[in-house]
Amino acid sequence: MADNKRDTGGLAVPTRRLGRLARFGGLGTSIAGNMLVEGAKTMARGERLDLEKLLYTKGNAEKVTDQLSKLRGAAMKLGQLMSMGGEDMLPPELAEILGKLREQAHHMPPSQLRRVLNDEWGRDWMKKLQKFDPRPIAAASIGQVHRAVTKDGRDLAIKIQYPGVRESIDSDIDNVVALIRMTGQLPKDTDMKPVFEEAKRQLHEEADYLREGRYMRRFKELLADTKHFIVPDFYEELTTKNVLAMSFERGQPIDDLQHADQETKNEVITHLFELVIRELFDFRLMQTDPNFANYRYRPEGKEIVLLDFGATREIDEELSQGYRRLVAADLTGDWTEIDRAARGINLYSGELPPKVEDALEDIFLAAVEPMNTDAPFDFANSDVTLRMREAGIRLRQEKFAHTPNPVALFLHRKIGGMYLLAGRLGAKVNVRAILREHGFH
């Protein structure tokens, strides 16, 4: 659940399908109109037309982010998903446009908020509480969070889903895909349908707050043996499919650790890498959303607060074992072994042209570099992410066509997010030593 980067004010969520569709139609028309105007100016200057440059103007970027942030729901969420997990499928400019959605979220006006709570808790819902703050403390793509206090004094965070979100998931994603397809920026020879179907499935699951509450409780049980993590308590008696009640857990934004001492940065990222390893190989259960706002930090107890379990995914034994073989191959640094293990979990398949294989090799060897350095790896001064992105651009230029394993795509999004956070904080971590403690040699 992302915190507000700026207060955008209350704005009612469009709940009717036709109203949402009209927003998409108007957005497409507006972008096309902007491209025509800018194209005419370019031709008048005697310059060559570049469709990508016309598409990725500041005006178009602002229109896309503004409209999707107003729609919220799956439209906004898919933009966030693709901006953090689709850099190898989308041009950097488009990923950047979509990435701006992580920084924008409107909240519902009080009248719409009251109607939602009346529907979910009944008109006398305030009798259940001692206090309810109508001002949200956070707002994101599918819901917003409020503070509340129960009659018996429990301090709660109440996540409230925007009305109409669940019903609009499929059509919203189809409309966003159509909008992106209109730009010609989806891989033409790659069947992306399984990826978008997986996105729909995940978003339907995220929109079920009872499901999220159960996974919150499960993670609390799984992490009961560690002092490093705090998971909120789940209050099922106040939870519905559209309202999630949990204990309010204080903590500072994890981004603030950019200004912490080096030892603290290293410890936090070490614990988060250990968590990813346990999720993938021990729990076979992963919270796949790496949004930095899902982590908070308590300096007095050196504790990491984990928030938002809507994107939790079960990982079957076969896939977990496949990743175990891939990590073991990664640690050899041998491309032949890595290639065989990657194919084993369907990250790609078939005969590869030499330039495609070279780009894939560069991506994998860059990604595993932190694992193959048996010393503290300096994430802040590493060019790993840049090299992976450059190799991804080469793959697109070669028109590499392969339908990615959709489940793996979301797992990679989480792992990539940990690399980004490590770089943001400037952590120096011996990843190989962590893997050795978990049975890898």
Question: What are the pLDDT digits (tens) for 386-436?
Answer: 888 788 778 877 777 666 677 787 888 888 889 989 999 999 999 999 999
Q: Which regions of the chain carry the CATH code 3.30.200.20? A: 109-161+208-249
| Active-site residue identified among 172, 289, 330, 362 | 289
- CATH class assigned to 109-161+208-249: alpha beta
CA 394 to CA 397: how far, in whole Å?
5
Report residue 327's pLDDT band, with 50, 70 and 90 as the boundaries: very high
User: Which residues, 6+ apart, have CB-to-CB distance to 10 below 8 Å?
Assistant: 106, 107, 108, 109, 110, 112
CA 132 to CA 151: how far, in whole Å?
11
CA 328 to CA 246: how far, in whole Å?
39
- Is residue 330 annotated as part of the catalytic site, yes or no? no
Residue 73 has pLDDT above 60, yes or no: no
187 sits in the region (left: phi over 0; alpha: psi -120 to 50; else beta) called beta
Predicted confidence (pLDDT) per residue in 223-235, tens digit:
999 999 999 999 9
At 6 the pLDDT is 43
| Secondary structure element (H or E) that encloses residue 120, with its range | helix 110-121
Mean per-residue pLDDT, 79-86: 47
Report residue 181's pLDDT band, with 50, 70 and 90 as the boundaries: low
User: Which pTM does this prediction carry?
Assistant: 0.78
Report residue 7's pLDDT band, with 50, 70 and 90 as the boundaries: very low
* Mean pLDDT, rounded, of the chain: 79
Report residue 92's pLDDT band, with 50, 70 and 90 as the boundaries: low
CA 110 to CA 430: how far, in whole Å?
49
CB 65 within 8 A of CB 101: yes
Residue 118 has pLDDT above 90, yes or no: yes
Structure tokens at 57: 């103007």
Task: Return the higher-pLDDT residue of 195 and 112.
Answer: 112
Structure tokens at 266: 């290293």
Report residue 247's pLDDT band, with 50, 70 and 90 as the boundaries: very high
Q: Which of 68-82, 187-201, 266-280, 411-425 has the highest mean pLDDT?
A: 266-280
**C-alpha distances in Å from residue 201, one per residue of 261, 327, 340, 363:** 41, 28, 29, 28
Mean per-residue pLDDT, 21-50: 44
Mean per-residue pLDDT, 331-358: 91
